[in-house]
Amino acid sequence: MSLRDRKRIRTRQALVTAAADLFESRGYDETTIAEIAAAAEIGTRTFFSYFASKEDLLFPETDGRVRAAMDAIAARGPDDGPAEVLLEALRRVGEDTDDLTGRIAALRLRLIRTVPAVRGRGLQIQMDTQREIARRLAEAFPDQIDEVTAAALTGAFVGAVTAALQVLLEDGDRPADPAAVQRAMEVAVGVVLNPWFRK
């Protein structure tokens, strides 16, 4: 990774951290993009090189979730079916980032419940991500599932993860153990996808 790439990653993370700090201390609606940029020590115009909107700061790893699914599909073994691939994708996301289990996840869930703009952006991202993963899953397993079945299977997977996180991260004042949250999500996914597991 080049120095420039590392700097971009650091700046992106600084924006996410600054936004989380400000959202928690001042409130989401009361925080401006200019304040977030200033806290991350960049200009407001530069902010838009990293994020399209204030809402997007709460969903910094969306592309990583799709990448994890693609990587799990590419690395699948001969005995792995669609359910095994989805579970492996969840594990990969947990290994690569704390986006689903850490501070930003708890904040995101709290703001989804209380801020319509965040809720709307979250639903749009979830729908787009779910559709992309389902499309890739159907392409990878054409003899096992069609597009409708892939969409239903992916929807059940995403629903299980979302529902588990809502319970696990509900108390935003109590820090959750990321490893315990990850294990609980995997159990929830296992319950929903159980009929599809091949092993």
Q: How far apart are CA 189 and CA 184, in angstroms?
A: 9
> Both 143 and 79 in a single domain?
yes
CATH of the domain at 72: 1.10.357.10
> Both 31 and 69 in a single domain?
no
- State which residues form the domain around 27: 3-52
Q: How many domains does the chain have?
A: 2
> Both 26 and 90 in a single domain?
no
The domain boundary, picked from 13, 35, 52, lies at: 52
> Both 98 and 114 in a single domain?
yes
> Both 76 and 171 in a single domain?
yes
> Both 151 and 184 in a single domain?
yes
pTM of the model: 0.85
The tens place of each residue's pLDDT in the chain, 199 residues long, gives 788 889 999 999 999 999 999 999 999 999 999 999 999 999 999 999 999 999 999 999 888 888 888 999 999 999 999 999 999 999 988 888 888 888 898 899 999 999 999 999 999 999 999 999 999 999 999 999 999 999 999 999 999 999 998 888 876 555 568 888 888 889 999 999 988 887 5
Write phi, then psi, for 104 (nearest 5 degrees). -65, -30
Write phi, then psi, for 69 (nearest 5 degrees). -65, -40
